[in-house]
Amino acid sequence: MKPLTQLFMRLGYEFSDSELARVALTHRSAGGFNNERLEFLGDAMLDLVIAEYLFQFRPQASEGDLSRLRASLVKRETLASIAAELELGDYLKLGSGELRTGGFNRSSILADALEALLAAIYLEGGYQAARDVVLALYADRLENLPESAALRDPKTQLQEWLQARGIDRPAYSVESVSGLAHEQQFKVICTVATLEISCEGHGTSRRRAEQDAAEAALSRIGNEQPQV
Please provide the DSSP assignment of 57-96 as one string.
H-TT--HHHHHHHHHHHHSHHHHHHHHHHTTGGGG-B--H
**pLDDT-derived band of residue 149, with 50, 70 and 90 as boundaries?**
low
| Predicted local confidence at residue 110, as pLDDT | 94
| Predicted local confidence at residue 225, as pLDDT | 53
**pLDDT-derived band of residue 2, with 50, 70 and 90 as boundaries?**
confident
- By mean pLDDT, which of 18-22, 58-62, 86-90 is the weakest? 58-62
Task: Decide if pLDDT at 50 tops 70.
Answer: yes
pLDDT in tens, 165-213: 999 999 999 999 998 877 899 999 999 999 999 999 999 999 999 999 9
Contact 67, 40 (CB under 8 A): no
| Predicted local confidence at residue 13, as pLDDT | 95
Residues of the chain with pLDDT > 90, as a percent, come to 70
Residue 87, φ and ψ in degrees, nearest 5: 55, 40
| Predicted local confidence at residue 96, as pLDDT | 85
**pLDDT-derived band of residue 227, with 50, 70 and 90 as boundaries?**
very low
Radius of gyration over every alpha carbon of the chain, rounded to an integer in angstroms: 22
| Predicted local confidence at residue 224, as pLDDT | 64
Mean pLDDT of the chain: 90
In the annotation, is 115 catalytic? yes
State mean pLDDT over 122-147. 95
C-alpha angle 196-201-207 in degrees, rounded to nearest 5: 115
Report d(CA 79, CA 81) in Å as an integer. Answer: 5
**pLDDT-derived band of residue 153, with 50, 70 and 90 as boundaries?**
confident
Strand-strand pairing, 197-203 and 185-192 = antiparallel
| Predicted local confidence at residue 228, as pLDDT | 38
Q: Which of 36-50, 157-171, 182-196 tops mean pLDDT?
A: 36-50
pLDDT in tens, 69-106: 998 899 999 999 999 999 999 999 998 888 888 877 88
Report d(CA 134, CA 127) in Å as an integer. Answer: 10
Helical segments of 75-205, H only: 76-85, 96-100, 107-125, 127-137, 139-143, 154-164
Task: Decide if pLDDT at 31 tops 90.
Answer: no
* Active-site option among 39, 115, 210, 212: 115
* Active-site option among 43, 65, 132, 153: 43
What are the C-alpha distances in Å from 78 to residues 115, 132, 138, 154, 213?
Answer: 12, 18, 10, 20, 24
pTM score, whole prediction = 0.70
Q: Can you list the domains of the chain with their CATH numbers?
A: 4-146 (1.10.1520.10), 154-224 (3.30.160.20)
State mean pLDDT over 122-127. 97
In the annotation, is 200 catalytic? no
